[in-house]
Structure 1
């Protein structure tokens, strides 16, 4: 993945505020720190959205590269979390079939999302993506509180 010439402008809003930007010269130093922080947060909470989503957003990727980077981050985090759960005996092996079958609607959703992504503007795409991530975070918070 590479940063392309037609980046978001630094004044173009995301969901609620202007995006922050990470310079390409800071990226090699900051990426391992974000990776470590992501691992610690995921280990403690099972949530793997913060800090990688804001960080990846700050890299000014194009729409398709943004989705690919987020997908890669989520996949690696999920695999690491699954390994840890199985390692500590916290994942019931009886749910493996159901979990495997749940991949089917996820793949369908990815295909539909890819079609939609090509039909809408970059700004609208980012707002929709981050709105859904916000809703997911709120749902997880509410579920934890109730």
Structure 2
């Protein structure tokens, strides 16, 4: 771990001359991002969700969001470019994407004006909702004629929640499933939306003076454990049935969300 700390000193990423995190915390952050990448490599989703959940236990919520910005941007751009349905997705989802992106900044104001314990509790609740729906395969259905007014509304809610908690998936994932997106289109759609949300988070956190030079350096370095985790996850994918892994994962996420919620209150 000392070697990793020296890397930051070498590139002068400690702008204040003081360590951002002590060695033990830095190691815990490395492991948390590694685990998030492992999940991403195993089932294709969950990097931001799991990363935020674990990092919130280690550090505060604004730091957790900032630490994942650059690895999230890299993985989401890659995800958005794979699938061959980019134009179709943009045509169908542009009202949701634009509305969600615009609302991120308003949500991020809460990070400096609302008690972080309340925001952490909200994060825990979102994790429980997302995991419960995913675990039991609960799906809603939206008729095509209702998409015109519902998409901006979903985007508004999603953008505010993203700005407040750093979580991208609620309620957009439920909406994408409800309008009938199949697996490949669903994954690419998430990549497109998450890329836009990540870019707006970067701007918003910078505006709120949360994204400092030091945290930017750590976020850039976080690409490495994320990639290592993805590669390990791809190996695990070949050995463990995906359905079994997903059930274990979502059960653990429900437990983690409950822990975060009760610990924050």
Fold agreement, TM-score > 0.5:
yes
Contact in 1 for aligned 2:135/2:251 (Cα 8 Å): no
Give the alignment's TM-score, normalised by structure 1.
0.64
In the alignment, what sits opposite 1:60?
A: 180
Q: Residues of 1 paired with 2:232 and 2:224: CA distance?
A: 13
Aligned counterpart for 2:209 among listed residues 79, 89, 95: 89
Q: Residues of 2 paired with 1:85 and 1:63: CA distance?
A: 32
CA 1:102 to 1:30, structure 2 compared with 1: closer, same or farther past 3 Å?
A: same
Give the alignment's TM-score, normalised by structure 2.
0.39
In the alignment, what sits opposite 2:257?
A: 138
The structure whose Rg is larger is: 2
- 1:28 equivalent to 2:153? Answer no
SS in 1 for 2:135: coil
Q: Residues of 1 paired with 2:176 and 2:255: CA distance?
A: 18
In the alignment, what sits opposite 1:47?
A: 167
1:30-85, CA deviations, whole angstroms, 9 ceiling, x for partnerless residues? 11111111122223333332221211222222211111112222222222122111
CA 1:132 to 1:100, structure 2 compared with 1: closer, same or farther past 3 Å?
A: farther
In the alignment, what sits opposite 1:6?
A: none
1:1-28, CA deviations, whole angstroms, 9 ceiling, x for partnerless residues? 369xxxxxxxxx9522541111222223
In the alignment, what sits opposite 1:99?
A: 219
Report how many aligned residue pairs link the two structures. 134
Which has the larger helix fraction?
A: 2
Q: Residues of 1 paired with 2:179 and 2:161: CA distance?
A: 21
1:109-145, CA deviations, whole angstroms, 9 ceiling, x for partnerless residues? 557767949xx78xx49x56x8289459717835962
Q: Residues of 2 paired with 1:113 and 1:60: CA distance?
A: 28
1:89 is displaced (CA, Å) by 0.8
In the alignment, what sits opposite 1:7?
A: none
Segments of 5+ residues of structure 2 without an aligned counterpart are 1-84, 90-132
